[in-house]
Amino acid sequence: MAGIWVYAEHHDGKLKKVTFELLGKGRELAQGRGEELGAILLGKDLDPLAEELSPYADRVHCLESPMLEVYNCDAFLEALSSFSAERNPSMIMAGATYQARDLFPALAGRLQKGIVVDCLGVELADGGRFLLRKPIYGGKALVEVAFKEEPQLVLVRPRTFPPAEPRSERAEVSKEQVEIDPTKVRLKVLEVMKTTGEKVDITEADVIVCGGRGLKDPENFKLLEELAEVLGGVVGATRAVVDAGWRPQEDQVGKSGKTVSPNLYFAVGLSGAVHHVMGMDTSKVVVAINRDPMAPIFQYADYGLVADLFQVVPLLAEELKKELGK
């Protein structure tokens, strides 16, 4: 059997964190079913990444081609669909990232298989069947589903599982130079515009300090930047703030932005509209700071401070700095 595969997504020579989270879960599932755990890499010159993955998987499959240097849905689809059709893994897991959400639904269509997106739980039931859990209606309910056929394609919300621990065994690395028929690659990627630089993506952050319209002015976000920096976190924003042009789109948390699941989430000067909450309600610990005691965000928080953010946030940053010795 070709085993359980984890799609090892990488950007600018760095593997996405979610890959390691999935390798942890994948190990548990593979052991439970007596299968091999594979990591699958697509790109060009993959040796360093294969090396990095080696302590976490039984096998690293490298699919190399100059046509896979830059992400292109068509090219990746050609490579991944023929490789999986040939090997027939029981499951391919990937993070529910921008890239995987573009590629894997197309892969499901190409392989004529099912797919579950934004999984919050994967369990092995008696009889070796996988049970997948995912939110519906923006998280107001969960549904548990199972696949009728394999391979099963599963996209997991980042930060749902803890990262894997490295093992002393090393993976076997198998390299394939893939031939991609250029006529099948209909899409042309004309330009890739990076706007975030080296900043940690909010979906990967351990701590998020999210600001809303209560900040009053884009300048005031520096208060949140300072608090985030003390905590080693990043700043997020509500849609109201993004639409006003105060913060970049990639920092938007919520239904029409990103779904985040940090360990610690500060909701500052934001009301907690349903659309916002849908993007953050799996955060582990939530602190809400709002001067309106009726603000809905308090229903989704563990700790609530009914206060003026302009008084509380600078103090909090200062105290934490002392506390954490920074």
Partner 1 sequence: MEIVVLVKRVPDSEAQVQVKPDGSGVTVEERYGMNFFDSLAVEEALRIKEKFGGRVTAISLGPSQSVEVLRTAIAMGVDDAILLEEEALLGGDEYATARALAAAVKTLPYDLVLCGREAFDDSSGVVGPVVAQFLGIPSVTMVTKVEVEPEQRKVKVEREAEGGRELIEAPLPALLTAQKGLNEPRVPPVMGVVKAMKAQIKKLDLGSLGLGPEEVGQKGAKLEVLRYIEPPKRRAVKYIKGEPPEMVKELIELLKTEAKAL
| Residues between 149 and 208 that touch partner 1 (CB under 8 A) | 149, 186-196, 201
Looking at 110, 170, 275, 321, which residue binds ligand FAD (CB under 6 A)?
275
Q: Quick one: which of 16, 25, 239, 247 contacts ligand FAD (CB under 6 A)?
A: 239
Compute the distance between CA of residue 275 and CA of residue 238 in angstroms, rounded to an integer: 9
Candidates 150, 213, 263, 320; binder of ligand FAD (CB under 6 A) is 213
By CB under 6 A, tell whether 220 contacts ligand FAD: no
Candidate residues 13, 109, 162, 182; the one interacting with partner 1 per rule CB under 8 A: 109
Q: Which of 26, 95, 158, 254 binds ligand FAD (CB under 6 A)?
A: 254
Per CB under 8 A, does 323 bind partner 1? yes
Q: Which stretch binds partner 1 (CB under 8 A): 39-47, 54-62, 110-118, 159-167?
A: 110-118
**Hey, how many other C-beta atoms are within 10 angstroms of the C-beta on 123?**
14
DSSP string over 12-53: TTEE-HHHHHHHHHHHHHHHHHT--EEEEEEESS-HHHHHHH
Taking the CB of residue 136, how many other CB atoms lie within 10 A of it? 10
What is the helix (H) or strand (E) element at residue 267, kind and residue range? strand 264-268
CB atoms within 10 A of CB 285: 13
Tokens of 274: 């349903």
Nearer to partner 1, 1 or 136 (CB): 136
User: Measured between alpha carbons, how far is 70 from 209 in angstroms, rounded to an integer?
Assistant: 32
Q: Residue 86 interacts with partner 1 (CB under 8 A)?
A: no
Q: In the bound complex, what is the minimum distance in angstroms from residue 247's beta carbon to ligand FAD?
A: 10
Pairwise CA distance, residues 287 & 167, whole Å: 36
Does the protein bind partner 1 through residue 292 (CB under 8 A)?
Answer: no
Q: Which is nearer to ligand FAD, 136 or 189 (CB)?
A: 136
Nearest to 23 by CA among 10, 6, 35: 6
136 binds partner 1 (CB under 8 A): yes
Q: Residue numbers of the site for ligand FAD (CB under 6 A)? A: 212-214, 238-241, 252-257, 269-271, 273, 275-276, 279, 289-292, 295, 308-310
